[in-house]
Amino acid sequence: MTDKFDLLILAELQQDARLPTPELAHRVGLSAPSCYRRVRALRESGLIEREVALVAPSTMGWPITMLVLVTLERDHGRIVDEMIASLQREPEVMDLWYVTGEQDFVLQVAARDMQSYEQFTRRVLHARDQVRSFKTLVVMGQHKRCGALLPG
């Protein structure tokens, strides 16, 4: 069960996961040892899944981002599982969601250029019989990234 201090710790770490424990403790009003124990417990409980560095794809040569809405021929458990496993292996797929509604998946895809995206669609989407259709939305600008779940 989380309390007010756990929520404050989570809010701070979602903004900067590299905060030294003494600084984090000061910000949330705890002693450093108490804060350390709480962070460890949050990790062990799974509330903190992982701590990662967010890299801007454009700085790595992937300047184009697309959201791809994928519809399968049939929404069957085995087909869905195979599709998830397959898409997880594709380096261009940054995020993958299995969703309700008209589409079955939403992908966030990074591309070096439109030609590389076309190659991706041919290799990954057109080549699979279970894909009925897909729609591509080209991201013109990103105004919020990895929004934190703040206490509320």
Q: Judge contact between 48 and 78, C-beta under 8 A.
A: no
- In the chain, where does the domain assigned CATH 1.10.10.10 lie? 4-45
Q: Which of 31-45, 66-80, 119-133, 135-149 has the lowest mean pLDDT?
A: 135-149
Whole-number pLDDT of residue 54: 85
In words, the CATH class of domain 4-45 is mainly alpha
This prediction's pTM: 0.83
The CATH 3.30.70.920 portion of the chain extends over 57-138
Q: Please give the CATH architecture assigned to the domain spanning 57-138.
A: 2-Layer Sandwich (3.30)
